[in-house]
Chain A
Amino acid sequence: MSLPKNLLECLPEEARVENIKFVSRDTNALNELFQFPIAINRKAISVSTDGDSTEKADLTLLIVPASISLDAEKISAIRKWVEGDNHPIEPTSLMLSLQHVQILWSPERIAIVAEKNRVETVQRAMIEVTYYVSELMNIEYEISQRWPQLESDIPIAFQYDQKRVGRKRELMQKFQSIYLLRAQLSRITPFLLCPHVYPPTLASQVGERLRERVRVEDRVEFLSDQLEVYEEVYELCSQRINDHQHAYKGHTLEWMIIILLLVQILFSVFDYLTIAGT
């Protein structure tokens, strides 16, 4: 990704942009930046998005090696770039200032202004925590989009009949996707809510500060509550569907028996009629 001309002009020459992609741990890549724990099964790699490459980076870092803090004008230009694409959940950027390190953060773009020897540590810390926070935000976004659907599905949690048979597959998919989101949240929660590291390091402090600023603890709790509502509704829906399927099979069998009995009665009546006729 290239930087806007006005931003390029005001930055030191050593400033660089790092495009990062989160890929599976199994992917072979030379330019590996960070490896997540096995449970996450991801690693961050540096990618080039110039030229013919159509790859879109998951995260873009602007690294500005500088020994002194940047002035307000430069910070404003960087903030504008960081907020470039309005994120649906986090439209404004956050600014963290810690041990002569300045960080402007948004879920997709981060600017790190730090001394040269601290850049790598901060970069790794930001990649790690940003991945977890972004995942959390993605789940929040998915959930927030589904409220109208949930409201329309609530009646099915009470009653499911033959007229709604056509919605079975759709409900099954929703049920699955909600549990997938729950699994995703459960997987990242230990890393989002991990206790403070002692003795603190720059990397751990950067991560903890960001988690505090985005209110990770509260958000995880709210999200968990919201997912519970979805789960309850779709669990009831699946229960109704299964009950209906069982009842339908039993109903069919009962009708088959009734039809066979009717045939027997028909034969008896017919026999009686032919005898009465003669």
Chain B
Amino acid sequence: MRYPSVDILRTVAIVVMVLVHFPENLSNYIPPFTGLGAPLFTFLSGVSYRLWLNGQEARGISDEQISKITIRRGLFVFGVGFAFNILIWLPEDTFNWDVLTFIGSAILLLNLLRRLPISISVLIAIISIVISPALRATAEYSSYWENGYFECDLTLTDVIIGYLATGYFPIFPWITFSLAGFITATLLFNPVQDERPAIWQFTIFGTGLFLLAMIGLQIRNYAPAIISTHILSGWHMFPPSTEYVFATIGMAMFLFAVLHQFVDLNPKLCSDVSRFRVFKTFSRYAFTIYLLHHMVHLWPLWIYGYLMGGETTAYWQNAMPVTISIPLACLFLLVCYLVLRRINPDDRYGVEGWMRWLCG
């Protein structure tokens, strides 16, 4: 079953990412809503996995078969993530641990956790938040981000540290986002209706997390140096500070609960499918759009730099004014919508179709 709430949020996530990446990579402009797309995207990866699981279980697919499909899908996304790093960010960034390699790993982990009590997922999500600052401090996070972006030596130790704690999207604490989505959807879409918690509880919890983050931001100035440096380190995505993690999980949970209440559970609204066509199109091809928008704005940059005879990345963040890069992002989204809406969902176009064909 497709839930409009998931489609709407995934559309928001992908649109935010496109509108952030174009001006950031072409004009070195950081829009104010930077850092809101990826948390939503990773939160929804957990939600979607639970919804997919419910669908498979309802169809009577065996547990073993579900595991096989999940592992294939996880490895597929992980592999595409590596291919993406090599082809889009060029081979020196193979191990930058971008969002796709993270989501691939998260899918593999969720496959293990789906059979365990939900309280174990909650425990791991909490532990992930708690240990992340300690891991970053142990690894000396700033030494991997000296130029404002992640760089590591191609040694096994650095690669593993990057994967676990210091990369762009390391397992800790980003796994908390996927787990939060998975837990929320597991509780909210429990096949036993009587055991479902009330939706308002998620709304309150999401709001609570957001307020907690805001309080953290306020009190960090008065906290001891060790806390303000490692735990309440302010609002930033790289590394994801505790306040950032709390606020974005709270936001994702709040938005999802509210949309589920007022859109999914509103038969009048849901009956009109045409209302959600835009969201459905963007949501269905979010993975493809994520890859495509990088190709569209980064490849010309690398080719132009190469043709000009300098460094391939010479024009990165220095190619055009923001007044052009943002309209270009909007144009890309418009063209994407017009092209993708014509594609028959059953055709195997797009990375999602290839994944279904290959992994089941």
Give the interface segment out of B77-85, B152-160, B181-189, B326-334.
Answer: B152-160
B308 in the interface (beta carbon within 8 A): no
B194 in the interface (beta carbon within 8 A): yes
Note all chain A residues with C-beta closer than 8 A to B194: 169
Contact of B117 among A163, A252, A270, A274 (CB under 8 A): A252
Cα–Cα distance between A259 and B122 once the two chains are bound (Å) = 11
On whether the beta carbons of A259 and B123 are closer than 8 Å, the reply is yes
Note all chain B residues with C-beta closer than 8 A to A271: 138
A213 in the interface (beta carbon within 8 A): no
A267 in the interface (beta carbon within 8 A): yes
On whether the beta carbons of B155 and A270 are closer than 8 Å, the reply is no
Asked if A259 meets B120 with Cβ closer than 8 Å, knowing A166-B195, A266-B131, A270-B164, the reply is yes
On whether the beta carbons of A255 and B192 are closer than 8 Å, the reply is no
Contact of A270 among B57, B124, B138, B191 (CB under 8 A): B138
Note all chain A residues with C-beta closer than 8 A to B157: 273-274, 276-277
On whether the beta carbons of B155 and A263 are closer than 8 Å, the reply is no
Cα–Cα distance between A275 and B48 once the two chains are bound (Å) = 39
Asked if A267 meets B131 with Cβ closer than 8 Å, knowing A166-B192, A274-B140, A277-B155, the reply is yes
Asked if A255 meets B117 with Cβ closer than 8 Å, knowing A165-B192, A263-B131, A270-B138, the reply is yes
On whether the beta carbons of B139 and A270 are closer than 8 Å, the reply is yes
Within residues 131 to 173 of chain B, which ones have a CB less than 8 A from any CB in chain A? 131, 134-135, 138-140, 153, 155, 157-158, 160-161, 164-165
Asked if A274 meets B138 with Cβ closer than 8 Å, knowing A252-B119, A267-B131, the reply is yes
Note all chain A residues with C-beta closer than 8 A to B158: 277
Chain A interface bracket (under 10, 10 to 19, 20 to 34, 35 or more) = 10 to 19
On whether the beta carbons of B135 and A248 are closer than 8 Å, the reply is no
Note all chain B residues with C-beta closer than 8 A to A165: 192, 195
Contact with B along A245-260 (1 / 0, CB 8 A): 0001001100110010
Cα–Cα distance between A187 and B195 once the two chains are bound (Å) = 36
Contact of B191 among A166, A252, A255, A267 (CB under 8 A): A166
Contact of A259 among B57, B124, B155, B195 (CB under 8 A): B124
With an 8 Å Cβ cutoff, the count of chain B residues facing the other chain is 26
Note all chain B residues with C-beta closer than 8 A to A169: 194
Note all chain A residues with C-beta closer than 8 A to B119: 252, 256
Note all chain B residues with C-beta closer than 8 A to A252: 117, 119-120
Asked if A251 meets B117 with Cβ closer than 8 Å, knowing A263-B127, A274-B140, A277-B155, the reply is yes
- The secondary structure that dominates the B interface is helix
Note all chain A residues with C-beta closer than 8 A to B135: 266-267, 270
Cα–Cα distance between A255 and B131 once the two chains are bound (Å) = 18
On whether the beta carbons of A248 and B127 are closer than 8 Å, the reply is no
Q: Residue among A169, A267, A277 with the most chain B CB within 10 A?
A: A277
Note all chain A residues with C-beta closer than 8 A to B138: 267, 270-271, 274
Note all chain A residues with C-beta closer than 8 A to B139: 270, 273-274
Cα–Cα distance between A259 and B179 once the two chains are bound (Å) = 15
Note all chain A residues with C-beta closer than 8 A to B57: 163
Contact of A255 among B120, B160, B195 (CB under 8 A): B120
Note all chain A residues with C-beta closer than 8 A to B195: 165-166
Cα–Cα distance between A166 and B54 once the two chains are bound (Å) = 14
Note all chain B residues with C-beta closer than 8 A to A163: 57
Within residues 93 to 133 of chain B, which ones have a CB less than 8 A from any CB in chain A? 116-117, 119-120, 123-124, 127, 131
Asked if A256 meets B161 with Cβ closer than 8 Å, knowing A166-B192, A266-B131, A271-B138, the reply is no
Question: Nearest B residue to A167 by beta-carbon distance?
Answer: B192
Cα–Cα distance between A180 and B135 once the two chains are bound (Å) = 60
Q: Residue among B157, B158, B195 with the most chain A CB within 10 A?
A: B157
Cα–Cα distance between A156 and B127 once the two chains are bound (Å) = 37
Note all chain B residues with C-beta closer than 8 A to A276: 157
On whether the beta carbons of B127 and A270 are closer than 8 Å, the reply is no
Cα–Cα distance between A257 and B232 once the two chains are bound (Å) = 28
Cα–Cα distance between A270 and B131 once the two chains are bound (Å) = 11
Contact with A along B68-93 (1 / 0, CB 8 A): 00000000000000000000000000
Question: Nearest B residue to A258 by beta-carbon distance?
Answer: B120
Cα–Cα distance between A255 and B121 once the two chains are bound (Å) = 10
16 CB < 8 A contacts A-B: A165-B195, A251-B117, A255-B117, A256-B120, A259-B123, A263-B131, A266-B164, A267-B134, A270-B138, A270-B161, A271-B138, A273-B161, A274-B139, A274-B157, A274-B161, A276-B157
Q: Closest 3 A-B residue pairs measured CB to CB?
A: A166-B192, A277-B157, A252-B117
Known: A165-B195, A259-B127. 14 other contacts (CB 8 A): A166-B192, A251-B117, A252-B117, A255-B116, A263-B127, A266-B164, A267-B131, A267-B135, A267-B138, A270-B138, A270-B139, A273-B157, A273-B161, A277-B157
